[in-house]
Amino acid sequence: MIEVLNLGKKFKEVEAVKGISFNVSKGEVFGLLGENGAGKTTTLRLLATILKPTFGTAGLNGYDIIKDPERARGQIGILFGGETGLYDRLTARENIEYFGLLNGMDKREIRKRIEFLTEKLGMGEYIDRRVGKFSKGMKQKVAIARSIVHDPDIMLFDEPTSGLDVTAINIVHEFILDLKQQGKTIIFSSHSMKEVEKLCDTVGIIHKGKMIEISSLTLLMQKYNNMDLEDIFIKLVGDSNA
């Protein structure tokens, strides 16, 4: 599970994340919803130990991101939107294998895992081709496989469908729902209300670095008289600006 405690980050005079707290249980998909610049990416980078908090902390399966960052990092897989970060001159297999080695897996274990993921994601036709000329959808499949090759318990998704076409978006959605069925703990950041409604059990709305609402989707709808999520979001953000 994930436990976030008064987590904050300042960049000089700019306070990007302002002491947020929330929990995500095993098998839960937590939607981090906010406008561009709200603090979603900074929050996920803090949890991924890419950035060091200015104050507060978080626990990933009991490992503190400040006291034990290496073990905390070993609990997670990360999938970002936009650029996949793949090495164009390597094959899909080599990209996935390299990430497995970085996570301390032995080559036999990596081979078995790649065979499983290749079949699951339908990558058989191009697993041994260089990724430089792949479509966005093909690259995203490789990025998905790379992010879970070490079978992590926790997944962090930072707008993973950004810039993708409808087919590729559906691949990512199916992947997330499959991970949920496996009991993985997931944070999914997005500014798409439809994605959050489709995928998430609980939503946290972040605005200007502050968490202004945390609720299950069902209770959130009840609280705001069955308004749709987009209208609820606009109301909350507008009230916060008042």
CATH number of 2-241: 3.40.50.300
Contacts of 21 (CB under 8 A, 6+ apart): 4, 5, 6, 7, 56, 211
pTM (2 decimals)? 0.89
Pairing relationship of beta strands 55-60 and 2-11 according to DSSP bridges = antiparallel
Pairing relationship of beta strands 185-190 and 210-216 according to DSSP bridges = unpaired
pLDDT of residue 228: 87
How does pLDDT run across 21-68, given as a tens digit for each residue?
999 999 999 999 998 889 999 999 999 999 999 999 999 999 999 999
pLDDT of residue 109: 97
Domain ranges of the chain: 2-241
For residue 91, give the DSSP letter. B
pLDDT of residue 134: 93
Residues of the chain with pLDDT below 50 are none
Q: b/e per residue, 125-164, with b = 16+ CB within 10 A?
A: ebbeebbeebeebbbbbbbbbbbbbbebbbbbbbbbbeeb
